[in-house]
């Protein structure tokens, strides 16, 4: 308990003991819940004021059994294995730590399950969803009072710097959920919201220093809960960005590690080789495999040792605790390929056992569809089989839509690469679980990627809204934000209108250029159509071989057929329904979604244009 410690003199079995109601002991997880399937909980206790090396543990709480106690080489820690019976009731479990004639008592709450018990959260994402991805520090400042927090190492606040904090927070995001819904977004994904008490570069969130604390400069746990509840009240979903591979250098589990093997240790700093191939290469060396998985991401992000069972339990329990505490619907898993894959299978399975509808997709920034499919549930005959449901689909981006928009058409060039990449979907167990995107927080924005050609951006957005998979829209794409990812701060600029002093405001459209307003309108129309389209959100896909830069594919089910026509050439092209009889038979024409114009069975599509057409009888 926080506050002044209370000293109580008690007599136990004829001996006099000093019992201290401690305020210095921390527990991870900080609490647990009744009626959970994961009912064997390993509680890691920490106190920098104590030495637990020879301590014993006692617990007397109905339905909670002490199974085992673990000591560490660092006496600041002790781990307690508890079994929580189905009969256990919510309440405060008193964990007594006895050391000689001194008893330290830590109160560990056992809470009721979150309201809804998994039916109103942990719903997962699928093709019916549109994910809006943003960085809280760069989206909107809803509470200027938390811009700086006393005691944290990074006290920067300067919107003129691409690397310093800008003050955006979770309240700012909550204030603009109407805007997200107007875009057709059903789901919010943010860069990590956990505490990053690092000296610098804290704006991105990928260097956690306490898993059980939400970043105070974002508003802390209260603001995160409020945002989650506001999303669910609207029927929207929340994805949490999970980082299992590494932590920040100033995490207490780095600065004051329980044991030397909590992290991957090297004689001198050794960085990962960032090469995925050694994981599945039948000819790979053990050395290359080890460097990939065990090398540190950067000097500021130490690599966590998943083969240590205490580390594995710590991370898995935190994932379950987060879903139950904050009502998470799905997981985006950072730097998936650098994790111990056997550990990831365990973690994924634990989440799905506890929350059967929850979904996960991993960042697998690799090169090649077979490489990417290896890390997901797949149809490949390999010794290791991943249970990851889907991936962030870098292949349809790097070897699909980017060359389609930027290269001249050829036998294997231009839009032929997009067709070819999608033809490899046979590698996946279910390619519709992959998350497709045009850009993100690490990559050059789509407008800059296509030479600031607005027609090409529109083609990209139209593809994003209609292709198989789950679309992810990066904040600001809809108003033509640009930036080249060298350095990455240029693709992480502030969203126009997120700060009271902004002269340009996307939310009100004040100060936007005509081109920006047009792009915003274009995105909204496609996003809203997508939301109501059964063919796109639940249907199948059929694509036709590209011809002279013209690429046609269909999304269809028993109730609706949507024809998607992408003309990547610099000349107008003629389109005839008779060339696509398998999908156009029985239809007299269609309606172009964005313009609302009627489309005949033969029509001409302008150069550098994509049309999304709902076919009509």
Residue range 20-63, pLDDT digits in tens: 444 489 999 999 999 999 999 999 999 999 999 999 999 999 99
pLDDT of residue 118: 63
- Taking CA atoms, 430 is separated from 166, 240, 470, 472, in Å, by 40, 22, 12, 18
Residue 346 has pLDDT above 80, yes or no: yes
Which DSSP string corresponds to 429-464? Answer: S-GGGSEEES--TTS--HHHHTTT-HHHHHHHHHHH
What is the 8-class DSSP label of residue 479? G
Whether the per-residue pLDDT at 9 is higher than 80: the answer is no
Provide the phi-psi class of 590: left if phi over 0, else alpha when psi is between -120 and 50, else beta.
beta
Active site residue 363: yes
Which H/E stretch holds residue 221? helix 220-233
Q: What is the mean pLDDT of residues 65-82?
A: 98
pLDDT in tens, 491-537: 999 999 999 999 999 999 999 999 999 999 999 999 999 999 999 99
Q: What is the pLDDT of residue 95?
A: 97
542 contacts 585 by C-beta, under 8 angstroms: no
The token pair that represents 117 in the structure block: 């018990």
What's the mean pLDDT in 175-187?
Answer: 98
Question: Per-residue confidence at 141, pLDDT binned at 50, 70, 90?
Answer: very high
Three-state secondary structure call for residue 466: helix
**Mean pLDDT within 264-270:** 96
Residue with tokens 């067709």: 419
**What percent of the chain has pLDDT above 90?**
94
Mean pLDDT of 294-322: 97
Q: What is the mean pLDDT of residues 337-366?
A: 98
Looking at residue 378, what is its pLDDT?
98
Q: What is the C-alpha to C-alpha distance for residues 502 and 272, in angstroms, rounded to an integer? A: 41
Q: Which domains does the chain have, with CATH numbers?
A: 6-111 (2.60.40.10), 131-395+434-500 (3.20.20.80), 538-616 (2.60.40.1180)
Within 22-127, residue ranges assigned H as helices are none
At 466 the pLDDT is 99
pLDDT for res 16: 33
Give the pLDDT mean for 410-439.
Answer: 98
The stretches of 115-176 forming alpha helices (DSSP H) are 136-139, 170-174
C-alpha dihedral over 203, 226, 36, 305, to 10 degrees? Answer: 0
Tokens 């058409």 found at: 409
The string of DSSP letters for 335-367 reads TGGGS-HHHHHHHHHHHHHHSTT-EEEEE---S
Q: Which of 334, 340, 439, 494 is catalytic?
A: 334
Token digits of residue 144: 């200027």
Q: Answer whether 195's CB lies under 8 Å from 152's CB.
A: no
CA–CA dist 129, 114 (Å, integer): 24
Give the Cα separation of 537 and 576 in Å (integer). Answer: 26
Does 215 qualify as catalytic in the annotation?
Answer: no
For residue 508, give the H/E element and its range.
Answer: none
**Of these residues, 169, 215, 363, 516, which one is catalytic?**
363
Structure tokens, 456? 């090409």
CA distance 235 to 229: 10
| Residue closest to 589 by CA, chosen among 564, 614, 560, 567 | 614
Over residues 220-228, mean pLDDT: 98
């Amino acid at each position: 308990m926080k506050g002044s410690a209370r000293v109580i003199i008690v007599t136990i079995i004829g001996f006099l003991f000093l019992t201290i109601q401690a305020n210095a002991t921390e527990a991870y997880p900080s609490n647990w819940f009744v009626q959970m399937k994961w009912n064997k909980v390993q509680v890691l206790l920490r106190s920098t004021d104590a030495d637990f090396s020879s301590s014993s543990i006692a617990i007397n709480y109905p339905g909670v059994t002490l199974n085992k106690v673990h000591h560490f080489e660092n006496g600041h820690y002790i781990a307690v294995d508890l079994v929580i019976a189905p009969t256990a009731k919510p309440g405060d479990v008193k964990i007594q730590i006895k050391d000689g004639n001194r008893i330290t008592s830590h109160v560990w709450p056992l809470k009721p399950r979150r309201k809804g018990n998994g039916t109103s959260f942990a719903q997962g994402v699928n093709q019916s969803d549109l994910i809006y991805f943003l960085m809280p520090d760069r989206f909107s400042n809803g509470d200027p009072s938390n811009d700086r927090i006393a005691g944290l190492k990074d006290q920067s606040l300067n919107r003129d710097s691409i690397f310093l904090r800008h003050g955006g927070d979770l309240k700012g995001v909550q204030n603009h959920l109407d805007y997200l819904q107007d875009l057709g977004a059903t789901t919010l994904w943010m860069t990590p919201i956990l505490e990053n008490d690092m000296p610098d570069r804290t704006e991105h969130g990928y260097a956690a220093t306490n898993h059980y604390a939400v970043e105070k400069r974002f508003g802390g746990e209260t603001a995160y809960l409020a945002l989650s509840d506001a999303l669910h009240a609207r029927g929207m979903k929340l994805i949490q960005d999970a980082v299992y591979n590494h932590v920040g250098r100033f995490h207490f589990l780095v600065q004051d590690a329980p044991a030397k093997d909590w992290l991957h240790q090297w004689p001198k700093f050794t960085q990962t080789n960032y090469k995925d191939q050694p994981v599945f290469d039948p000819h790979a060396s053990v050395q290359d495999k080890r460097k990939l998985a065990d090398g540190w991401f950067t000097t500021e992000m130490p690599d966590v040792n998943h083969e240590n069972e205490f580390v594995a339990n710590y991370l898995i329990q935190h994932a379950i605790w987060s879903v139950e505490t904050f009502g998470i619907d799905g997981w985006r898993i950072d730097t998936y390929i650098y994790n111990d894959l056997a550990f990831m299978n365990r973690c994924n399975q634990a989440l799905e056992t506890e929350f059967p509808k929850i979904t996960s997709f991993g960042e697998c920034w690799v090169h090649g569809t077979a490489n990417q499919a290896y890390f997901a549930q797949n149809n490949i005959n390999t010794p290791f089989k991943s249970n990851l449901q889907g991936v962030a689909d870098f292949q349809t981006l790097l070897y699909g839509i980017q060359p389609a928009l930027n290269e001249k058409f050829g036998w294997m060039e231009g839009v032929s690469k997009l067709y070819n990449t999608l033809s490899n979907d046979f590698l996946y167990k279910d390619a519709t679980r992959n998350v497709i995107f045009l850009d993100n927080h690490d990559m050059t924005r789509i407008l800059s990627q296509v030479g600031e050609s607005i027609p090409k951006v529109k083609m990209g957005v139209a593809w994003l809204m209609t292709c198989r998979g789950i679309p992810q829209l990066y904040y600001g794409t809809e108003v033509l934000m640009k930036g080249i990812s060298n350095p990455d701060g240029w693709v992480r600029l502030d969203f126009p209108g997120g700060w009271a002093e902004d002269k340009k405001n996307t939310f009100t459209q004040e100060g936007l250029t005509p081109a920006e307003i047009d792009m915003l309108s274009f995105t909204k129309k496609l996003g809203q159509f997508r939301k109501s389209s059964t063919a796109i959100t639940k249907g199948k896909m059929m694509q036709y071989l590209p011809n002279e830069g013209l690429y046609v594919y269909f999304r269809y089910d028993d109730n609706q057929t949507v024809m998607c026509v992408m003309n990547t050439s610099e000349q107008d092209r003629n389109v005839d329904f008779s060339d696509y009889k398998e999908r156009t038979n029985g239809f007299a024409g269609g309606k172009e979604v964005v313009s609302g114009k009627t489309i005949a069975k033969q029509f001409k599509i302008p150069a550098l244009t994509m049309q999304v057409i709902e076919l009509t009888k």
